[in-house]
Amino acid sequence: MSNLKIVWKLFLTQTSLIIISLLTIGIYAGISLKEHYLEQLVPQLTTNATLIRDIVAKELIDGKSDTIDFLTKRLGSKIHMRATIVDSGGTVLGDSEKDPTKMGNHLDRPEIREALRGKVGKSIRYSETLKTEMMYLALPVEIKYRIIGAVRVSLPLSKVEKMGGHIYEVIVWGAIIAALLSLGIGFILARRMGKPLIQMTMAARKMARGDFSELIRTDSKDEIGDLARSFNTMSIELQNKIETLTKQIRERQAILSGMIEGVIAINQDRRVILINSAAEEILNIPPGRALGRFHWEVIRHTRLNPLFQEVLETGAQKMEEIILHYGGERILRVQTAAIPGEGGTPWAMVAVFHDITQIRDLERVRKEFVANVSHELRTPLTSIKGFVETLRNGAVSDPEKSLRFLEIIEKHTERLNRLITDLLNLSQIESGKTEANNLKPVNLVDVVSRVISNFREIADQKGQKIKMNIPSVLPHVLADKERIETVMENLLDNAVKYTPNNGEVTVSAFEKDDGVQVEVADTGIGIPPKDIPRIFERFYRVDKARSRELGGTGLGLSIVKHIIETHGGKVRAESEAGKGSRFIFNLPKSPLL
């Protein structure tokens, strides 16, 4: 009897739970679906109201009521919604479904009142005009901080009510059928459902939380046993599929995140369905703002949006170069391709952005370099050729002239030799041939002292003083000793050359942060501010004629910059025209001492 009671209790409980659950779920689903549908209508109404407002704003300013009514009717038919335009006094100027002259003042409508206060007005109520429940949304029309009217759009809610009625009908019939079935088979199933069902309920809850470790243990050979075993199989397969999908998603995200190229995908609805961080950075889009939005809402470029539209419409592959001005000028190569759907019609498109700014800069630098080298080589070669021809044409018989010409030829030959040597050194430095085994602890005091001694005689001839302001104890730096000597020679050579007679050159060094800072200062002619950003460029000279006269190749400072940067340091210049210059570079300290 006790077992029978338990069976009946379980049977009646199950039957009641089925009916109550269906009713509860159905009612909740009906309400939720209705609310969800109403929520989905708001963005649609807002978008269409904004579109109409932008179109009729000018006519509303001009007071063209006939034009406003014509536009309202035309736009209402296009968007399949009722549209109404009112002025600031509530007078209807246009309506897509009624004659505005026969409509009363709308100031008593709550959505109109809200809109004329500068807010978004929303309302759901019964329309006496259309004899049905409607959802209204109104936006203000504002010109120069003055509200001159409102735009209202609305949709009948008959579809929502019909959908709710259908859901409730299905729920009622489902409950009746469930109750009848429960009466027929519930008694038999009740005796077998207890333990396995409880286990499955617990396992299902864990699965919902992402825990697939719970398996149903049962020796039953009936349907409940099959269900338990199927549940176990489903749990294992679902776990495997979720793990596979998660892995694939992570791999895709890792690939997209790791790409330096920007990638963006847009579907046929013109909405962004995929974008990586590189594309967000390139297009100046805040992270996470693009997904699900129309591409023209997040991309502000006059060529990109038409390009995306063209690819989605034609399915053609395109490649173009564009210029962006977000945070400085950037040159991008944009490659686009359509993703074909059913029937070959594109369902989406993908665009890849390659930043080729550096490539274009390198091409420009290469062209300038070739032109500069050609010019620098042509000048001495032309002079040498001219003097050789002069000697050949009879000047060789004049010992005084021939000696002077040969000295000039020798001077230009030395200039060519210096130029070629500097070019080879620069090429070697740029190719990264400062090997790691050449980096050793270097005592800068010894290097600076030796280089200064090489320039003492030249400085003395010009009455210049070379001072060394370096402490006796200075940390060693990790560097290629010969390269650092080249840096000091180039900087001191420039300082001595461009400092007038009786001037002064000072070399200082001191410990700073995790390295050593070296400064070479002079009291020379200085550098104009406009030239300072370019003085480290190859062949750039502030005073070309004076530089050539003093034997400069225009490569010294470029060599200095590349050597310091290959050592992990930085170099800069400070100067004031007519008062002197100061070149500053830093090198990392040696960890060995």
Can you give the pLDDT of all 593 residues of the chain as single tens digits? 333 444 556 667 766 766 676 667 667 766 776 777 778 788 888 888 888 888 888 888 877 777 888 888 888 888 888 889 998 888 888 888 888 888 888 888 899 899 899 899 998 888 777 778 888 999 999 888 889 889 999 888 876 667 666 766 776 676 677 667 666 666 666 655 556 666 677 777 777 777 777 777 776 666 667 777 787 788 788 888 888 887 887 877 777 777 778 888 888 888 988 888 888 888 888 888 888 888 888 888 888 888 888 888 888 888 888 888 776 778 888 888 888 877 778 888 898 988 888 887 777 767 766 666 665 666 667 777 777 777 777 766 677 777 777 777 776 677 667 667 766 666 666 665 555 457 888 888 889 898 888 888 888 888 989 899 988 888 888 888 888 888 888 888 888 888 889 999 999 999 888 889 999 999 988 888 888 888 887 766 665 444 444 445 667 788 888 888 888 889 999 988 778 899 999 998 887 65
**What three-state secondary structure class fits 221?**
coil
CATH 1.10.287.130 in the chain, residues? 360-430
pLDDT at 151: 92
- Give me 145's structure tokens: 């901080």
The 8 Å CB, 24+ separation contacts for 461-464 are 462/496, 462/499, 462/500, 462/501, 462/502, 462/503, 463/501, 463/502, 464/496, 464/499, 464/501, 464/502, 464/503, 464/504, 464/505
pLDDT at 567: 84
CATH 3.30.565.10 in the chain, residues? 436-588
Contact 159, 166 (CB under 8 A): no
Contact 531, 542 (CB under 8 A): yes
Rounded Cα gap, residues 255 and 257, in angstroms: 6
Question: Considering only CA atoms, which of 138, 108, 106 is closest in space to residue 123?
Answer: 138
**259-355 fold:** Beta-Lactamase (3.30.450)
Q: At what angle do helices 158-208 and 223-258 cross, to 10 degrees?
A: 100
For the chain, percent helix, then strand, then coil, each to nearest 5?
55, 20, 25
Query: With 0-12 CB in 10 A as exposed, 13-18 as middle and 19+ as buried, what is 195?
Result: middle
Contact 67, 59 (CB under 8 A): yes
Rounded Cα gap, residues 503 and 500, in angstroms: 6
How far separated are the first and last CA of the chain, in Å rounded?
94
Name 353's bridge partners: 262, 334
- Give me 156's structure tokens: 């009948």
Rounded Cα gap, residues 355 and 374, in angstroms: 31
* The residue type at 466: I
pLDDT at 189: 61
Rounded Cα gap, residues 458 and 223, in angstroms: 105
Question: Considering only CA atoms, which of 24, 17, 25 is closest in space to residue 178?
Answer: 17
479: enclosing H helix or E strand = strand 477-479
**What three-state secondary structure class fits 450?**
helix
Name 585's bridge partners: 518, 571
Rounded Cα gap, residues 233 and 250, in angstroms: 25
pTM: 0.41
C-alpha gyration radius of the chain: 42
Contact 587, 560 (CB under 8 A): no
Rounded Cα gap, residues 28 and 318, in angstroms: 50
Helices (H) and strands (E) counted in the chain, each on its own, are 14, 17
* The residue type at 220: S
Contact 196, 224 (CB under 8 A): yes
CATH number for domain 360-430, candidates 3.40.50.150, 2.60.40.10, 1.10.287.130, 3.30.530.20: 1.10.287.130
Enter the DSSP assignment of 446.
Answer: H
Contact 582, 571 (CB under 8 A): no
**Superfamily for domain range 436-588:** Histidine kinase-like ATPase, C-terminal domain (3.30.565.10)
Rounded Cα gap, residues 310 and 302, in angstroms: 13
pLDDT at 426: 63
Q: How many other CB atoms are found less than 10 A from the CB of residue 257?
A: 10
Rounded Cα gap, residues 464 and 478, in angstroms: 32
CATH 3.30.450.20 assigned to domain 2-161? The reply is yes
Query: Which residues, at least 6 apart from 6, have a Cβ–Cβ distance to it below 8 Å?
Result: none
Rounded Cα gap, residues 391 and 401, in angstroms: 9
CATH 3.30.450.20 in the chain, residues? 2-161, 259-355
Tell me the HSE value of 202 on the side-chain side, using a 13 A CA sphere.
Answer: 10
Contact 272, 293 (CB under 8 A): yes
584: enclosing H helix or E strand = strand 580-588
Rounded Cα gap, residues 71 and 230, in angstroms: 62
Rounded Cα gap, residues 95 and 481, in angstroms: 86
Name 139's bridge partners: 151
